[in-house]
């Protein structure tokens, strides 16, 4: 079976994988940060007091690597002010009070047969679609590689290797047609003949669903991958599916490949066929809430409303952690007054029992971090160089290649804060302080 | 409402340093029982003294000399004590054991910075000091109370005694150090460690194979060579010590090969009948060098990095 070297096997904890996606009621208030994507923040095109409809453009992309934002609800813009973003920083956000009518702007349906690739890219760009796997890189940029980079394969990433999260799993099960349709659009845009849908072998239902489909077009292949974290990491996925290694510091397009998330493909389908911009997504709520599940939510919905919808927390659990994203790479939240953004894949609530904190001790050189690092780095050495402030030696150990997947820190028996130390190394190098 | 904040990853494996030490300790224990059964109750006191004195020296040096956090509960000092006792003669005096523990823990480990920073395997340093300080008692062997020579001693000194059978070697019906004689019990312990993924095959397998191959070159029986002396204990429990072995797989194979080669050279060309202890100690010195030259290629920096 296709695989990559390194990685770990944390408990999968995918308890919500068999729960049907539900659409939650409209939020009373939507908080839409202007920076929900990699690249420059969008610029508001509405002012306080304006009435907006669902799907109306409220902030426009500034520059090539940026994305449009659309109103997730209909109502009145009540403020444009600095608000907390799930990443932990404050960003300027547009706040819209919902009138609860959900009046939409008119969506312009398209016939993709009649569209040229550049027109499809334009639709994707206007719809504000970004990578919905977490990094939120603007999709139109990924789909516009420079002329000299010849793309020959598209991989749809359905691995969802983070424990607990099941939203992509549900989307591909429930909206198979849209996902496959989105993949075909991506292939058309890039003029690619082979598309792959990569699925970890723990999602048996998806694999059997595809094998039972009447006849998938010859050009789309289902690739069954070993269940392992981080199977869904872009470079590891390309290595597993195509046996190609993306060179250090380069992008997938340098090895002729583009990777897109399941939900991104679905969003592309909806943007092109239905004319619907990106203003909602499916997220997983897992862990210690009364009713965990997979929810279709509007971008900008506050976490407090989602937790209320799920029946609230299971009471009286010590050391409660609210994690935006999965438990391996997610960010803990200190308040529920934070909105769902485009790259928000789930909310995991853990207690002290699952998320124990340990005091770090000396490295015993067991080499586990080296064995599991999917980038073949040497976490323990980078960490020690940081601790001993031997910064000038760091460049020999490529800390910038680290994707912060957390495998090393997960495995470390001495519970050293490896990822934190490597993040520090990366920051120091990026700020040119070394 | 209060929430806990922490950096990712938010879940960690259950494995800890303490559990690793405990697992190795458990894996070694059956062999200790065999040693006590075979060599008498005094060897039990030797083991107990070794373990307790190692923990004592660790406590004293951390608490009063280096004034750092006392970490005796991580179990590493107790494990060092057990391993050192395993390569001592069953008749050694208890005060001599304490001297060994002092060198093992204070000189070889704590003076270098404590757990994770020692260059040499502490247990083997303790044994090496005792062997050179008290050569007579350290090379006096007995079985069931009867003084006799070890199998390797018989070979080395070309004694007239009958060499033991493979079965006796395997079960441990031979004179030798307290914990090294019963290969079957040691191997069972090693299987447990493989199963728990605490040790990997790289060091033990290359060590044992190298000893076999080079023994043939010296016209020795390869099976006899690995079943007698400390090869099994050394290959599976001493050379695999995390701190004093290389970080990378290629380096581990080099270490295993070096240990095996030096063992055979010492056995056949050196003054001692057994060479495992010195072979491992010599290879320990080379570990930083081995690590430097076996640094793996990072992802995306070479095309052919699929070998290991």
DSSP state string for A30-60: EEEES--SSSSPPEE-S-TT-EE-BT-EEEE
pTM of the complete model: 0.91
d(CA A280, CA A299): 5
Place of tokens 């780095």: A377
DSSP summary character for residue A28:
S
* Contact partners, residue A222, CB within 8 Å, separation at least 6: A196, A197, A199, A207, A210, A211, A216
d(CA B233, CA B111): 26
Burial class (CB in 10 A: 0-12, 13-18, 19+), A177: exposed
Predicted confidence at residue A9, as pLDDT, reads: 94
The domain spans of chain A are 22-106+277-350, 112-274, 368-430
pLDDT tens across the length of chain A (434 residues): 678 889 999 999 999 999 999 999 999 999 999 999 999 999 999 999 999 999 999 999 998 899 999 999 999 999 999 999 999 999 999 999 999 999 999 998 988 888 999 999 999 999 999 999 888 999 999 999 998 889 999 999 999 999 999 999 999 999 999 999 999 999 999 999 889 999 999 999 998 888 877 666 668 888 999 999 999 999 999 999 999 999 988 999 999 999 999 999 999 999 999 999 999 999 999 999 999 999 999 999 999 999 999 998 887 777 789 999 999 999 999 999 999 999 999 999 998 888 888 999 999 999 999 999 999 999 999 999 999 999 989 988 999 999 999 999 999 999 999 999 999 999 999 887 66
Predicted confidence at residue A260, as pLDDT, reads: 95
* Nearest CB neighbour to A365, from listed B16, B116, B299: B116
Contacts of B288 in chain A (CB under 8 A): none
**What value of ipTM does the predicted structure carry?**
0.90
CB A124 within 8 A of CB A258: no
Query: Rounded to the nearest 10 degrees, how much is the dihedral formed by the CA atoms of A414, A416, A419, A423?
Result: -160
* Nearest CB neighbour to A414, from listed B17, B245, B305: B17
- B259-275: pLDDT as tens digits: 999 999 999 998 888 89
Cβ pair A365:B301 closer than 8 A: no
Phi, psi of A323 (to 5 degrees): -110, 125
Tell me how close the Cα of A223 comes to any Cα of chain B, in angstroms: 21
Determine the 3-state secondary structure of A426 from DSSP. helix
Contacts of B9 in chain A (CB under 8 A): 327-329, 406, 409-410, 419
d(CA A268, CA A186): 8
d(CA A26, CA A102): 8
pLDDT class of B161 with cuts at 50, 70, 90: confident
d(CA A404, CA B41): 54
d(CA A93, CA B120): 59
* B48-52, B146-150, B283-287: range with lowest mean pLDDT: B146-150
Contacts of B301 in chain A (CB under 8 A): 247-248, 398
* Interface with chain B: mutation pick from A237, A288, A362, highest number of B CBs within 10 Å: A362
Statement: residue B187 has pLDDT above 70: yes
What are the residues facing A295 on neighbouring strands?
A: A22, A283
d(CA B12, CA A29): 37
Phi, psi of A222 (to 5 degrees): -90, 125
Domain A112-274 has CATH 3.40.50.11540: yes
pLDDT class of B287 with cuts at 50, 70, 90: very high
* Nearest CB neighbour to B298, from listed A348, A377, A411: A377
Cβ pair A330:B6 closer than 8 A: no
How far is residue B48 CA from its own chain's centroid? 18
Phi, psi of A244 (to 5 degrees): -110, 145
Place of tokens 């939507």: A30
Residues in chain B: 308
d(CA B19, CA B52): 19
Strand bridging mode A220-225 / A194-200: parallel
Statement: residue B304 has pLDDT above 60: no
Cis link prior to A271 (omega < 30° from 0)? no
Determine the 3-state secondary structure of A333 from DSSP. strand
Statement: residue B46 has pLDDT above 50: yes
Strand bridging mode A21-23 / A293-298: parallel
What is the average pLDDT across B300-305? 64
**From B245, which residue of chain A is nearest by alpha-carbon distance?**
A365
Cβ pair A330:B10 closer than 8 A: yes
Contacts of B203 in chain A (CB under 8 A): none
d(CA B32, CA B28): 7
Q: Considering only residues 179 to 218 of chain B, which have any Cβ-Cβ distance to chain A shorter than 8 Å?
A: none
Q: Which two tokens stand for residue B273?
A: 């009948």
Predicted confidence at residue B305, as pLDDT, reads: 43
Predicted confidence at residue A352, as pLDDT, reads: 86
The 3-class secondary structure across A132-175, one letter per residue, is: CCCCCCEHHHHCCCCCCCCCCEEEEEECCCCCCCCHHHHHHHHC
* Nearest CB neighbour to B7, from listed A245, A249, A419: A419
Neighbours of A118 (CB within 10 A): 10
Predicted confidence at residue B153, as pLDDT, reads: 87
Which of the following CATH numbers is that of domain B17-293: 1.10.3470, 1.10.150, 2.60.40, 1.10.3430?
1.10.3430
CB A405 within 8 A of CB A230: yes
d(CA B181, CA B230): 8
Q: Considering only residues 23 to 52 of chain B, which have any Cβ-Cβ distance to chain A shorter than 8 Å?
A: none
Cβ pair A377:B303 closer than 8 A: no
Predicted confidence at residue B156, as pLDDT, reads: 84
Tell me how close the Cα of B245 comes to any Cα of chain A, in angstroms: 8
Cβ pair A376:B242 closer than 8 A: no
* B39-43, B148-152, B248-252: range with lowest mean pLDDT: B148-152
What are the residues facing A26 on neighbouring strands?
A: none
pLDDT class of B163 with cuts at 50, 70, 90: confident
Q: Is B4 on the interface with A (CB under 8 A)?
A: yes
Statement: residue B220 has pLDDT above 80: yes
CB A277 within 8 A of CB A71: no
Predicted confidence at residue A317, as pLDDT, reads: 75
Contacts of B17 in chain A (CB under 8 A): 361, 364, 413-414
The 3-class secondary structure across chain B, one letter per residue, is: CCCCCCCCCCCCCCCCHHHHHHHHHHHHHHHHHHHHHHHCHHHHHHHHHHHHHHHHHHHHHHHHHCCCCCCHHHCHHHHHHHHHHHCCCCCCCHHHHHHHHHHHHHHCCHHHCCCCCCCCCHHHHHHHHHHHHCHHHHCCCEECCEECCCHHHHHHHCCCCCCCCHHHHHHCCCCCCCCCCCHHHHHHHHHHHHHCCCCCCHHHHHHHHHHHHHHHHCCCCHHHHHHCCCHHHHHHHHCCCCCCCCCCHHHHHHHHHHHHHHHHHHHHHCCCCCCHHHHHHHHHHHHHHHHHHCCCCCCCCCCCCCCC
DSSP summary character for residue A392:
G
Place of tokens 């603007």: A138
Predicted confidence at residue A269, as pLDDT, reads: 95
Tell me how close the Cα of B33 comes to any Cα of chain A, in angstroms: 28
Contacts of A239 in chain B (CB under 8 A): 299
Cβ pair B3:A320 closer than 8 A: yes
Contacts of B247 in chain A (CB under 8 A): 365, 367, 370, 378, 380-381
Q: Which is nearest to B246 in space by CA: A118, A380, A355?
A: A380
d(CA A388, CA A384): 6
CATH fold label, A22-106+277-350: Ubiquitin-like (UB roll) (3.10.20)
């Amino acid at each position: 079976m296709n695989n990559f070297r390194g990685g770990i096997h944390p408990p999968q904890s995918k308890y919500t994988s068999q729960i049907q996606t539900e659409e939650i009621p409209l939020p009373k208030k939507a908080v839409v940060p202007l920076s929900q994507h990699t690249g420059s923040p969008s610029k508001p095109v509405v002012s306080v007091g304006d009435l907006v409809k669902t799907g109306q453009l409220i902030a426009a992309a500034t520059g090539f690597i940026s994305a449009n934002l659309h109103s997730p609800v209909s109502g009145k813009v009540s403020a444009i002010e600095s608000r907390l973003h799930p990443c932990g920083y404050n960003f300027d956000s547009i706040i819209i009070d919902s009138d609860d009518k959900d009046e939409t702007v008119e969506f312009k349906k398209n016939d993709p047969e009649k569209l040229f690739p550049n027109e499809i890219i334009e639709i994707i760009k206007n719809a504000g679609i970004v990578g919905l796997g977490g990094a939120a890189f603007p999709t139109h940029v990924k789909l516009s590689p420079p002329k000299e980079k010849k793309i020959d394969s598209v991989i749809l990433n359905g691995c969802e290797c983070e424990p607990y999260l099941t939203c992509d799993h549900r989307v591909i099960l429930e909206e198979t047609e849209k996902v496959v349709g989105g993949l075909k659009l991506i292939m058309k845009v890039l003029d690619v003949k082979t598309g792959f849908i990569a699925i970890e072998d723990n999602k048996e239902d998806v694999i059997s669903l595809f094998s039972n489909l009447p006849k998938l077009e010859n050009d789309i292949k289902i690739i069954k991958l070993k269940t392992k974290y981080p199977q869904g990491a872009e470079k590891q996925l390309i290595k597993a599916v195509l046996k190609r290694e993306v060179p250090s510091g380069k992008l997938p397009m340098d090895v002729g490949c583009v990777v897109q998330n399941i939900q991104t493909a679905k969003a592309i389908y909806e943007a092109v066929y239905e004319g619907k911009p990106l203003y909602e997504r499916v997220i997983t709520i897992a862990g210690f809430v009364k009713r965990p599940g997979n929810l279709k939510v509007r971008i900008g919905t506050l976490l407090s409303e989602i937790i209320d919808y799920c029946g609230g927390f299971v009471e009286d659990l010590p050391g409660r952690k609210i994690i935006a994203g999965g438990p391996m790479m997610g960010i803990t939240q200190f308040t529920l007054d934070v909105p769902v953004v485009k790259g928000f894949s789930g909310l995991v609530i853990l207690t002290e029992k699952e998320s124990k904190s340990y005091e770090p001790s000396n490295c015993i050189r067991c080499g586990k971090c080296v064995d599991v690092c999917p980038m073949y780095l040497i976490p323990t050495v980078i960490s020690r160089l940081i601790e001993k402030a031997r910064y000038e030696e760091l460049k020999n150990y490529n800390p910038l290649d680290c994707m912060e997947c957390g495998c090393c820190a997960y495995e470390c028996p001495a519970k050293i804060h490896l990822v934190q130390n490597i993040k520090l190394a990366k920051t120091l190098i990026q700020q040119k302080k070394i | 409402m209060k929430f806990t904040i922490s950096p990712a990853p938010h879940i960690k494996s259950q494995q800890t340093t303490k559990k690793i030490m405990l697992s190795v300790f458990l894996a070694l224990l059956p062999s200790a029982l065999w040693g006590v059964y075979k060599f008498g109750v005094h060897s039990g006191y030797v083991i107990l003294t070794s373990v307790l004195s190692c923990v004592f020296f660790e406590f004293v040096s951390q608490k009063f000399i280096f004034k750092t956090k006392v970490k005796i509960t991580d179990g590493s000092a107790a494990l060092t004590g057990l391993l050192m006792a395993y390569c001592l003669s069953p008749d050694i005096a208890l005060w001599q054991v304490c001297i060994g523990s002092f060198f093992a823990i204070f000189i070889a480990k704590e003076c270098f910075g404590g757990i994770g920073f020692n260059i040499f395997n502490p247990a083997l340093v303790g044994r090496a000091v005792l062997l050179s300080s008290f050569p007579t008692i350290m090379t006096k062997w007995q079985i069931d109370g009867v003084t006799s020579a070890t199998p390797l001693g018989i070979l080395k000194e070309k004694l007239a005694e009958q060499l033991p059978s493979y079965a006796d070697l395997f079960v441990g019906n031979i004179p030798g150090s307290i914990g090294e004689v019963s290969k079957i019990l040691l191997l069972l312990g090693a299987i447990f460690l493989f199963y728990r993924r605490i040790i990997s095959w790289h060091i033990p397998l290359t060590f044992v194979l190298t000893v076999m191959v080079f023994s043939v070159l010296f016209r020795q029986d390869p099976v006899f060579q690995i079943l007698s002396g400390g090869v099994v204990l050394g290959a599976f429990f001493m050379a695999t010590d995390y701190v004093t072995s290389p970080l990378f797989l290629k380096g581990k194979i080099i270490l295993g090969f070096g240990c095996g080669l030096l063992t055979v050279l010492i056995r056949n060309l050196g003054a001692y009948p057994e060479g495992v202890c010195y072979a491992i100690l010599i290879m320990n010195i080379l570990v930083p060098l081995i690590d430097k030259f076996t640094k793996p290629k990072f992802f995306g920096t070479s095309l052919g990095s699929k070998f290991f």
